[in-house]
Amino acid sequence: MYQVPSTFWAKCCLLLSQATVEGHIGESNQLHPLVAFTMFLTFEARCYVVDGREHSKRLKQRYDDEAEHEDTVTEAVTPIEEPSKITNTTSSMIDLQAMQFVDIYKERTSSQRMNWKRCYDQGVKESKLTRYATISSLRVTYNEYKKRK
C-alpha cells in the first residue's frame, strides 16, 4: 500500500492497486480488510465484466434466433370476444337502499344540520349501511348520488 499525506480532511490517503496488494497476499491467513476489498475489486471485477459480455452475447444470439424464427412461422390470431354484460343487481340495490335511507333520515331531521355520524350509526344499527366502512365514504357516495340524480 502506498501512503500519501493529505492536506485536506483526511490524515492520509492510501492508494491501492493490484501491484501494491500482491505483496500482502501470501503473508498470513487473514488479510487486512482493505487488501481483501482491493483484491475483490481488481481480480473479481474482470470476471464479472467477461461474464457479462458473454451473457449479453448469448442473449443477443437467442433473441436474433427467435426473431428469425418468428418471420417464418405465421400464427393464427383469433380475436378476443367481448365479455357478456354482467350486472351486479345486489350491489346497485344496496347502494340505492342506502341512499334512500339517507334521504329519509335527512327529511326527518330537516330542521337541523345533517349529522352524518348519527345517520351512519343509525344505518349500521338498522343494517341499512353495511357496505360503508366509514362515515366519510357514506357522505361522499351520497353527494355523488345527488349530483347524478
Of the segments 7-11, 42-46, 81-85, 98-102, which one has the largest average pLDDT value?
98-102
Residue 87, all three cell numbers: 350486472
Q: Are residues 65 and 103 in the same domain?
A: no
**Arithmetic mean of pLDDT, 15-43:** 74
**Would 111 be classed as within a structural domain?**
yes
* pLDDT in the model for residue 118: 92
pTM beyond 0.75: no
Residue 53 belongs to a domain: yes
Retrieve residue 45's grid coordinates.
471485477
Q: Is 35 among the domain residues?
A: yes
Look up the domain containing 55 and give its range. 18-69
Q: How many structural domains is the chain composed of?
A: 2
DSSP H helices in the chain: 18-21, 33-39, 45-72, 89-108, 116-125, 135-148
For residue 32, pLDDT beyond 80: no
Selected residue with higher pLDDT from 67 and 96: 96
In Å, how far are 1, 8, 23, 72, 148 from 4, measured between CA atoms?
Answer: 10, 12, 18, 65, 77
Is residue 105 included in any domain, yes or no? Answer: yes
d(CA 132, CA 122): 13
Q: Specify the higher pLDDT residue, 46 or 107.
A: 107
